[in-house]
Structures are given as structure tokens and as C-alpha cells.
Amino acid sequence: MVALASVVVAAGTVTGVMSALDDGRGSDEARPDVSGTPFLQPLPYRPTPSVSATSGSPSPSPSASASKAGPRPQPSKSAATKPKTEPASVRLYRHGDSQVLDWVRANPDDPRRPVIESRIADRPAAVWFADYTPSNITARVRAVTSAGAAKGRVPVVVPYAIPDRDCGGASQGGAPDLGAYDGWIEKFAAGLGGGAVVVILEPDAIAQSDCLSEGQRTARFSALARAGRVLKAANPKARVYFDAGHSDWNSPQKQAGLLRRAGAASTASSDGIFSNVSNFNRTGDEVAYVRRTLDALGGPASLGAVIDTSRNGNGAPADGEWCDPAGRALGQAPTLSTGEARIDAYLWVKLPGESDGCRGTPGTFTPDYAYDLAR
């Protein structure tokens, strides 16, 4: 029996959200085609009273949670309460080109369509940039951010091209080296525009770094710190979040140490951390985890956290199943108004309905799976 962490999958073999890929449709068109979200990989099964097994990135020897001996954190009342309607200026942007929208448009008479359309397709989700294409990355990012700005909405973008991505696993890919990555990030940042935008910087790049040598890890963390500075310098309104894994992976203390080395405690690089990308952990567990991680990280009180709630409505399966597990449900709707201290947003970083590889081809929209999550 295994509980799973997630590893992000490169374009073509990925699981979970929208991805703006270069598919030959023009350098100024951002096409969320095959997702670039974390692909689930197994960890040894460790039943704990404090957290649920979920995705993220595999950790060869995950540290015990600091709250392992304590009671399981429960979602606070404010986390469980539906947020009030947000003003247009702080609403999230739904990109108009995605696999789920393609399916909705192509299947007007499918009986599953109303549920999938209203509960998934109409919700804002992240747009991933999972391929290394320096020639047109600026235009493709700009296509998303400018569209969001035109609607007065806040886009969520995911740069995902770090070298040695996924430690050579299912999501392998990215830039050929860190020098090339620096150049790619500069071009990515040039497309951010001047409006509000949320940047989920390189899922799994920090939590999943044990496969690197100490020298390689130091170099990667330095590159991530540079990336954060470049992104924020290019657009002072950009909010940049660094990889905190999830609540069933590294301990808050261990993850905070890694995050600090990557520049996440500095407001020149960072606005905080993100957790639970492509995972199923309950929101209450993640809220408790990211707060402990932020406390251990230090830095200014302005640092916050965002949590992926796309598939965590029923929490993680008790048996540790990770690949399109049955009985899961959509989590809290994406919002920038959580009502929780230091929790800046609940986001759908992984797009629900894109298969992990069991109910459909990895990274492709699977209507049966989407319908089961949404109904």
C-alpha cells in the first residue's frame, strides 16, 4: 500500500492543470493543451493522525510531521465557509482556451456537460508553461496576462522549466542548464505585464531536491532566488510563491530550511509559499502545515501561502491510492479571499478532470473522471 507524492510531468505526459504550450499555433497564442502539473509518484505508506497522503514530489525519506503525535488538524470555520463575492478587481482569471472548454464546446448534448461546465470549466485555473521554448515564451505569457488584465482579473501562471526537473522521472525536461533557465525566466518575466498576477514558481523544485548533489542543490536554489527577483522586478504587482511541497512530505522545519536557501524569506524574491499542488490533502491540514512552515521560515509577516484545493474536497484516499482515485471531489472554489490569516488564496493549480494516467492518458481531459469529481 502506498501513499503518493507528486512529481511534475513535462508536456505530453503530465497530470493536472492548464498548460500554455508551443503547438505551432502562433507565438502570441497561449494554448492550454496538455497539462504540466505534478505527476504522482509513490512514497512508502505512513499512516499518520495529522495529515493525509497526497501528491507532490517523491521524497526518498520523508521527514515525520511536527504534528504527527497530535490530533489531526480540523478545517477552521472560516476555511469551511464559502467566501463572500469578491470585487472584480480581485477575481481570478479563467483562461478561455483549455481542454475542458474544448470538450464542453464539442459535446453540447452530453448529459454530463452541465455539471462539468458549471463546476469545472467555468472556474479559474492556473496556466502552465511546461516546455522550454525561449523564442516565444514572452509572447505566450503576455497572451495570458494581457487577457486577464483586459477583464480586470488576476491570472495564475506556472513557470515549469527548471533543469533536472522531476529528477529524471516522468516529468523530466526543462531547460538544458541553469544558465539557459536564467535566460528563459527573464523572457518569461518580460511577458508578465504590469497588472496583478500570481506566479507559482516551479512546483516540486524545492521539496524534491534530495536527488541532487549538495552543489547542484545550492546552484538550483540560487537560480530560484534569482528567478523570484527577476519576476518581481519585471512586474512589482506580481506575487511570487515558492514550493513548500505538502503536509505529508517534509516537516515544516526541514522545508523552511530549504525554502530559506532558495530566497523564499526575502521580499525581493518572494511573497510566500504554495502547497498541495496536484494533491488531495484536506485544506485544514494544509493551512496548519503552511503556517508552521512560514513560522519556521521567518522573514516578514507579509509572507503568505496559497493552497491547491482543486481535488481535495474529500481528502486523500485512506489506502494511499494516487492515480485518479475513486471517491475524490472538487475542493473549495478558487478565491483570493480565504478569510484565513496568512492564507492568500485557494487556487486550482491542477485542473480537475485531467487524468493522472489511470482513467485516461496522462494529462488529458477525461470527462468520466471530471464528472465523478464534480457531481
Angle at 38 between CA 315 and CA 317, to 5 degrees: 20
Residue 221, classed as helix, strand or coil, is helix
- Catalytic residue selected from 33, 131, 204, 243: 204
Is 110 marked active-site? no
- Pairing between β-strand 127-129 and β-strand 18-21 as defined by DSSP bridges: parallel
Is 131 marked active-site? no
Is 102 marked active-site? no
Query: Which residues, at least 6 apart from 242, have a Cβ–Cβ distance to it below 8 Å?
Result: 201, 206, 224, 228, 259, 262, 263, 264, 269, 270, 272, 273, 274
- Catalytic residue selected from 166, 248, 285, 308: 166
Neighbours of 365 (CB within 10 A): 25
Answer yes or no: are the C-beta atoms of 329 and 373 closer than 8 Å. Answer: yes
Q: Calculate the alpha carbon distances from 162 to 34, 135, 189, 223 in Å.
A: 18, 17, 15, 9
- Catalytic residue selected from 97, 164, 356, 372: 356
3-state SS, one letter per residue, for 340-359: CCCEEEEECCCCCCECCCCC
Q: Is the dihedral of CA 195, 198, 201, 202 positive or negative?
A: negative
Angle at 217 between CA 216 and CA 219, to 5 degrees: 65
- Bridge partners of residue 43, in order along the sequence: 3
Catalytic (active-site) positions: 166, 204, 356
